[in-house]
Amino acid sequence: MLPSPFSIYRNAMEPLAAQEIERQMQSLPEDIIKSINKGEAIAYALNRLPPLYATTQEGWHWQHQRAKETLQPLISKAASWAIRAVQRKPSKFSTPLSANSTFEVA
């Protein structure tokens, strides 16, 4: 069963991974930056990091702070792996998700 529309949850790791990908990409040559699909790099990094979901603002801030304080080295490594991985191999799938995509669980 999918969550009700009133159940809101967020992964506090997402902005940290995105920020680290952005930070590391700033030091790359422009032609390499243009060749990287940032969304794929962020997803790759997130798939190698622990999820830190929260359902309240306080919980989200707590998870976010905890990750910044204790997981920054892992976030940096995951971002580096992600950038290298998306440079090496093009995406196998080409249809991007839309903001309002929904999926049924079989």
SS3 11: strand
pLDDT of residue 72: 97
pLDDT of residue 99: 74
Q: Which helix (H) or strand (E) holds 53?
A: strand 53-54
> pLDDT-based confidence at 89, cuts 50/70/90?
confident
Instruction: Work out the number of other CB atoms within 10 angstroms of the CB of residue 64.
Output: 19
CA distance linking residue 60 with residue 54, whole number of Å: 5
CA distance linking residue 41 with residue 64, whole number of Å: 20
pLDDT digits (tens, 9 = 90+) for 90-103: 666 666 777 776 66
pLDDT digits (tens, 9 = 90+) for 42-62: 999 999 999 999 999 999 999
